[in-house]
Amino acid sequence: MNETILLPEECETMVEVRAGVDATDRELMQLLDRRFGYMRAAARIKTDRSVVRDEARKAEVVDNARADAETRGLPGPDLAKIWDLLVESSIAYELVEWDRIRA
């Protein structure tokens, strides 16, 4: 069954809101799957394990997320914390993939 997901401003009931949240969570998971695919690509491309962790790049990604959130009127500091965890998880995943590829 294809359910119609309403935009937030169209919702009139909590059932509609929850359906939208659940659909958005599934979309976010698809995007995370793609993002982690880029981590697999990075693990394949990088020839030296020591360059997997790049603190300058991490700071840039987290700062970009915070700034983007604030531009959208979202809680920048909270979303920066989420992005920090996302980047740390990505680095850990990339290290595992780097080792797996070269095992």
For residue 2, tell me if it sits in a domain. no
In a domain, 98, yes or no: yes
Asked if the structure places residue 46 within a domain, the reply is: yes
Binding residue per annotation — 58? Answer: no
1: pLDDT strictly greater than 60: no
Q: Is there a binding annotation on residue 81?
A: no
* Torsion sign (Cα): 40, 45, 48, 53: negative
Q: Is 46 labeled as ligand-binding?
A: yes
Which CATH number does the domain housing residue 51 bear? 1.20.59.10
The structure's pTM equals 0.91
Tens of pLDDT along 40-78? 999 999 999 999 999 999 999 999 999 999 999 999 999
Total structural domains within the chain: 1
The answer to whether position 43 is within a domain reads: yes
Q: What is the mean pLDDT of residues 13-22?
A: 98
Range of the domain at 53: 12-102
Annotated ligand binding at 49? The verdict is: no
Is 5 inside a domain boundary?
Answer: no
Q: Residue 27 — pLDDT band, cuts 50, 70, 90? A: very high
